[in-house]
Chain A
Amino acid sequence: MNPLKTFTTAAILLLTASGVAQAGATLDAIKKNGFIKCGVSDGLPGFSFADEKGNYNGIDVDVCRAVAAALFGDPAKVKFTPLTAKERLTALQSGEIDVLSRNTTWTSSRDSAQGMNFTGVTYYDGQGFLVNKKLGVKSAKQLDGATVCVQAGTTTELNLSDYFRANKMKLTPITYDKSDESAKSLEAGRCDVLTSDQSQLYAQRIKLAKPGEYIVLPEVISKEPLGPVVRHGDDDWFDIVKWTLFVMVNAEELGVNSKNVEEMKKSTNPDVKRLLGVEGDKGKDFGLATDWMAVVIKQVGNYGEIFERNVGQGSPLKIQRGLNALWNQGGLQYAPPVR
């Protein structure tokens, strides 16, 4: 047998292949397995980080836990697969994972040609630069001729080239598979600058031996809406992941959190009643339990809780809500109503 020949012929013949959606396959498989296969990053404090025992925590991890809570009523029914930036999209395309929750930027080509669907935005981000104070650089415009560490296979890599080209600056990029390796190289002086989404820069910085010696430059050079991704064509599964996210945002807006959820079930606000499954069955539409939204909130928390616990004031990263505040508090987080 010659697999190569098979692949090549497959690839060539597929030139004419057209997209035909077939719904439900992923959801059925997940229900059969009894757990969700969730792709996360390979070690980014606040987003997805495995401790020494191999327990994961972080905002991306909590998103998967919330989906598991929605589906099985148990946030522990997730199997996490750490993926490098290079592997993540292929792993999702192939079915190695069911959902990718790994600081992945929503772009048009990923949404279309690469066979994916973005379910929403868990974190509005933008690309920035982390440099050593000793360089005396105050602005990204002064980076002409700099050596920049960047993660391979990311939109960051593309934005970086665009930015340097637009500003007519000379760039020497070094691309690593793992964010740890970039941090290590910045520390050793192999590169002058580390570029990534700003949230990641804060996360990377606390991983350095002397975080105080490094600053994040003021420029934000791109829009990076990060969110969970599923495969194209699994509409039922897509809806569940998408609405789990919306439920968490709605919960924050309505003031429902993991601590007061039982109490709030007695609320007279019809929006809260619908959200918590007290009035009307919002589970049937998704093929889930009547009170699935309440379960998600109770077991994982609302969006604000997740944010503060993992990257906000309750964490070493201490990132401000900024763009990620609710829409009625000056941010961009806005969820369609549960109705």
Chain B
Amino acid sequence: MAESRVPHASLPPPASTIGVVGWLRRNLFSSPLNIVLTLLAVYLLFVTLPPLLRWAFLDASWRGDDREACRSGGACWVFIRVHFEQFMYGFYPDGQRWRVNAAVLLLILGAAPLFMRAVSSKFKIRLGLGLLIGYPFVAFALLKGGMIGLPVVDTSQWGGLLLTLVIAGVGMTAALPLGVLLALGRRSRMPAIQTLCVTFIEFWRGVPLITVLFMSSVMLPLFLPVGMNFDKLLRALIGVTLFQGAYMAEVVRGGLQAIPKGQFEAAAALGLGYWKTMGLIVLPQALKLVIPGIVNTFIALFKDTSLVLIIGLFDLMNIVHNATTNPAWLGFSTEGYVFAALVYWLFCFGMSRYSQNLEKHLHTGHKR
């Protein structure tokens, strides 16, 4: 029997999975639900973005010296320009502001080798430690003055971004070691030490930072002998450090708990004492594990510096807030807050990106 073999009409080619069309299909229009979501999202962007861009750029005023320049209906960036110096330096005297710039420049120059691939890691560690210990003193001497012919600039005149960075910088440098010590204490086998550390950590984690700052700023002298007093800034620094130190302790504890027991036993078998075991074996591994957590705490600390507004320190946040109440510039709150938000955002986002890079860089293949 003859069998006629009529070939089946060829099927249409499969939908393109490459190129723009394929990408669109895969990522935006893969199912009815996705199509709806995509359309919704596009609509949302269409409604919000153009007016936003028009406000921020197209209709915005950039030139001029007073509010008369801001009649276009868009954002008044003149407000920021006029107050820019104040936002950066606070009430730091005009003629002395080069000292702030010098301190920042010094830090950037000093820290630059740390970010270079070509520099040996041994040198990096030495430099890093040196900076960590030495820089605060140099910077303090430069900013506060009172020696080598620099006039004294009292800490109450420090302000703006400068103050924010000082609080954040000191807070970070002090909170990490404090956190490590507290975490070690919490994991300690000595019951008294453990209880003390747990109480300390839970106390600071349980109360709001603003009550801590209020206490440190106006009530502290009540707890001290007559006549004994510290600088207001120093007290805010101590408050912020203790508060974030407790959070840091919990992060570090997570890392410590993740180190397998074998590591401790191996260290003990090698005859290492407690501090050597911790310093050489456990902490390097534990801290590496919790880099994201540490950086998150740093970011939280950076954002928390804005709370010193409540105790009357003129950090970036307070100085912007203050400028928006300036009678000559009323009605430009949005611009002020957007500017401040942008500055905070740049620092925080930068930190989180850097931590992601660091994590990748330090990844030694032990991660499972």
Residues of chain A having any CB pair with chain B under 8 Å: 1-4, 25, 28-29, 32, 42-43, 50, 52-54, 79, 81-84, 87, 90-91, 93-96, 177, 180-181, 183-184, 187, 206-209
Asked if B330 and A91 make an inter-chain contact with CB atoms under 8 angstroms apart, the answer reads no
A95 touches B226 (CB 8 A): yes
| CA gap between A139 and B225 in the complex, in Å | 52
Do A208 and B327 touch (CB < 8 A)?
A: yes
Q: How far is the CA of A3 from the CA of B206 in the complex (A)?
A: 13
Selected contact of A2 from candidates B90, B156, B199, B219, CB within 8 Å: B199
Q: Is B200 an interface residue (CB 8 A)?
A: yes
Q: Which residues of A contact B157 (CB under 8 A)?
A: 54
Interface string of B151-191 (1 = CB under 8 A from A): 00010110000000000000000000000000000000000
What are the 10 tightest A-B residue pairs by CB atom distance, in nearest-first order?
A54-B91, A95-B221, A180-B325, A29-B227, A94-B221, A94-B222, A91-B218, A90-B218, A209-B330, A207-B327
Q: Are A184 and B325 neighbours in the complex by a CB distance under 8 Å?
A: yes
Q: Complex: how many Å from CA A271 to CA B101?
A: 57
User: In the complex, what residue of chain B is closest to A183 when comparing beta carbons?
Assistant: B325
B16 interface contact, C-beta 8 A? no
* Interface 0/1 of B84-104, CB less than 8 Å to A: 001000110110000000000
Q: Could you show 18 A-B contacts with beta carbons less than 8 Å apart?
A: A2-B200, A3-B203, A4-B203, A25-B227, A29-B227, A52-B86, A81-B312, A82-B312, A87-B218, A91-B218, A94-B220, A95-B222, A95-B226, A96-B217, A96-B218, A96-B220, A180-B325, A206-B327
Q: What is the total number of residues of chain B having a CB less than 8 Å from a CB of chain A?
A: 32
Q: Does B50 contact A (CB under 8 A)?
A: no
Pick the most buried of B200, B227, B232: most chain A CB atoms within 10 A of its CB.
B227
Q: Beyond A4-B203, A96-B229, A209-B331: 15 further Cβ-contacts under 8 Å?
A: A2-B199, A2-B200, A3-B203, A29-B227, A53-B91, A54-B157, A79-B154, A82-B312, A90-B218, A94-B219, A94-B222, A183-B325, A184-B324, A206-B327, A208-B330
Q: Mark B316-332, 1 if CB is under 8 A from A, else 0.
A: 00000010110100110
Q: Report how far A52 CA is from B310 CA in the complex, Å.
A: 20
Measured in the bound complex, the distance between the Cα atoms of B199 and A32 in whole Å is 39
A183 to B157, CA, bound (A): 26
Contact B218 A209 (CB under 8 A): no
Q: How many angstroms between the C-alpha atoms of A29 and B228 in the bound complex? A: 9
> A83 CA to B311 CA in the complex, in Å?
8
Q: Would B91 and A32 count as touching, CB distance under 8 A? A: no
Q: When chains A and B are docked, how far (Å) is the Cα of A181 from the Cα of B310? A: 13
Residue B196 interfacial (CB < 8 Å) = yes
Are B325 and A181 touching (Cβ within 8 A)? Answer: yes
Residue ID in chain B nearest A3 by CB atoms:
B203
Q: Are B330 and A187 in touch, CB under 8 angstroms?
A: yes
Min CB distance B308 to A, Å, is: 13
Contacts of A93 in B (CB 8 A): 222
Contact A94 B227 (CB under 8 A): no
Asked whether, in the complex, the Cβ of A25 is within 8 Å of the Cβ of B217, the reply is: no
Contact between A95 and B229, CB atoms less than 8 A apart? yes
Interface secondary structure of A, over-half rule: mixed
A19–B59 Cα distance when bound, in Å, is: 66
For B220, give the chain A residue with the smallest CB separation: A94
Q: What residues of B have a CB within 8 angstroms of the CB of A32 in the complex?
A: 227
A184 to B199, CA, bound (A): 43
Which chain B residues in 186-236 approach chain A with CB under 8 Å?
196, 199-200, 203, 214, 217-222, 226-227, 229, 232
A54 to B222, CA, bound (A): 28
B315 to chain A, nearest CB (A): 14
Complex-state Cα separation, A82 to B157, whole angstroms: 12
Closest B residue to A206 by beta carbon equals B327
Contact (Cβ within 8 A) A83 B199:
no
Q: Find chain B residues with CB under 8 A from A96 CB.
A: 217-218, 220-221, 229
Chain B residue contacts of A1, Cβ below 8 A: 196, 199-200
Instruction: Report chain B residues within 8 Å CB of A187.
Output: 330
Residue ID in chain A nearest B242 by CB atoms: A3
**8 Å CB interface, B50-79 against A:** none
Q: Which residues of B contact A53 (CB under 8 A)?
A: 91, 93-94
* Distance of A177 Cα from B214 Cα, bound (Å): 13
B217 touches A87 (CB 8 A): yes
Our pick among B90, B91, B219, B324 for the contact of A90 (Cβ within 8 Å) is: B219
Determine the residue in chain A with the shortest Cβ distance to B329. Answer: A209
Q: Which residues on B sit within 8 Å (CB–CB) of A208?
A: 327, 330
- Measured CA separation A184–B327 after assembly (Å): 9
What's the least CB distance linking A281 to chain B, in Å? 29
The chain A residue with its CB closest to the CB of B328 is A209
Contact A29 B312 (CB under 8 A): no
Q: Which of B157, B226, B331 has the most CB of A within 10 A?
A: B226
Minimum CB distance partner of B83 in chain A: A52
CA of A96 to CA of B331 in the docked complex: distance in angstroms?
35
How far is B223's CA from A4's CA once the two chains are assembled, in angstroms? 13
- Distance to closest chain B CB from A81 (angstroms): 8
Nearest A residue to B206 via CB reads: A4
Residues of chain A within 8 A (CB-CB) of B203 are 2-4
Q: Which of A25, A79, A87 has the most CB of B within 10 A?
A: A87
| A3: B residues at CB distance < 8 A | 203
**What are the residues of chain B within 8 A of A4 when measuring CB–CB?**
203
Q: Return the contact of B227 from the options A28, A43, A87, A209 (Cβ within 8 A).
A: A28
Q: Is the CB of A25 within 8 A of B226?
A: yes
**A141 to nearest B CB, angstroms?**
30
- Taking a contact as CB atoms closer than 8 A, the residue among A42, A90, A184 that contacts B330 in the complex is A184
Look across to chain B and name the residue whose beta carbon is closest to the beta carbon of A179: B325
Determine if B91 and A87 form an interchain contact, defined as CB atoms under 8 angstroms apart: no
Q: How far is the CB of A23 from chain B (nearest CB, A)?
A: 12
A25 to B325, CA, bound (A): 39
Closest to B159 in A: A54
- Kindly list chain B residues whose C-beta atoms are within 8 Å of the C-beta of A28: 227
Chain A residues near B310: list those with CB within 8 A: 177
Residues of B within 8 A of A43 (CB): 322, 325
* Shortest beta-carbon distance from B202 to chain A in Å: 9
